Amino acid sequence: MEYATHWHVLATLAVVVILGLSAYALHLYVRLQQLPAKSADHDATGTAAAEAEAEAPVHCATHEARDEELRQSISLLARAMVNGDCNLSEGCIRIRYLMDHLDPAQVTRAGIDIIYVHYEAIAHLDVLEARKALDKAARRAQDREREALEAKHGEAILLAARELMQRFGESLRRATS
């Protein structure tokens, strides 16, 4: 008889805990739905590239506001590339993605075409999970290919990054200080 009483107490306690956690999860879900879309704050720790990409899909009230966020993200990425805080290939991938989402009337490839050229040259390289699935020799081979392309295009990419900084209102003085 005592065993049955303990079992009922434990079962009741488990149900209470599950209901409590469910209520808390629902509360968090409701709060999440009520939050306005916000851009990530940027810091100087080298995470600028990831944060800039995270800003791209933010839905703004107007196209102009969205495009302004995209221009700021592109400028931030360009500055990170010039400062050496962002790998050149990663920067080209991210900038191309952001430029593709910018209003086409604002996109002029003059002076920055190398970003598109470099992107096309590295587009076949594996990333994320596909890269992790490669054996070490294949990964090293892809790294050597990427590094050779970065050496070949590096100066032109940095010139294009500086052009983007100027085009989208970022001063070179801020990038080097």
Give 98-124 pLDDT, tens digit per residue: 998 887 776 778 889 999 999 999 999
Predicted pLDDT at 137: 96
Q: How would residue 85 be classed by pLDDT, with cut points 50, 70 and 90?
A: very high
Dihedrals phi, psi of 170, to nearest 5 degrees: -100, 125
Predicted pLDDT at 45: 39
Give 32-51 pLDDT, tens digit per residue: 777 665 433 433 334 444 55
Average pLDDT value for residue range 25-35: 77
Give 121-137 pLDDT, tens digit per residue: 999 999 889 999 999 99
Closest CA to 45 of 85, 73, 90: 85
Average pLDDT value for residue range 52-75: 71
In the 8-state DSSP scheme, what is residue 56? T
CB atoms inside a 10 Å sphere around CB 5: 9
Task: Please give the model's pTM, rounded to 2 decimal places.
Answer: 0.60
Q: What is the largest CA-CA distance in the chain?
A: 85
Residues 61 and 67: beta-carbon distance below 8 Å: no
Angle between the N-to-C axes of helices 88-101 and 113-122, in degrees from 0 to 180, rounded to the nearest 10? 110
Angle at 148 between CA 144 and CA 151, to 5 degrees: 140
Residues 115 and 78: beta-carbon distance below 8 Å: no
Predicted pLDDT at 135: 95
> What is the overall mean pLDDT for the chain?
80
Task: Name the 3-class secondary structure at 94.
Answer: helix
Encoding tokens for residue 19? Answer: 């209901």
Residues 120 and 78: beta-carbon distance below 8 Å: no
Q: How far apart are CA 165 and CA 69, in angstroms?
A: 14
Q: Where do the domains of the chain lie?
A: 48-176
DSSP string, 74-90: HHHHHHHHHHTSS-HHH
Encoding tokens for residue 111? Answer: 């002076």
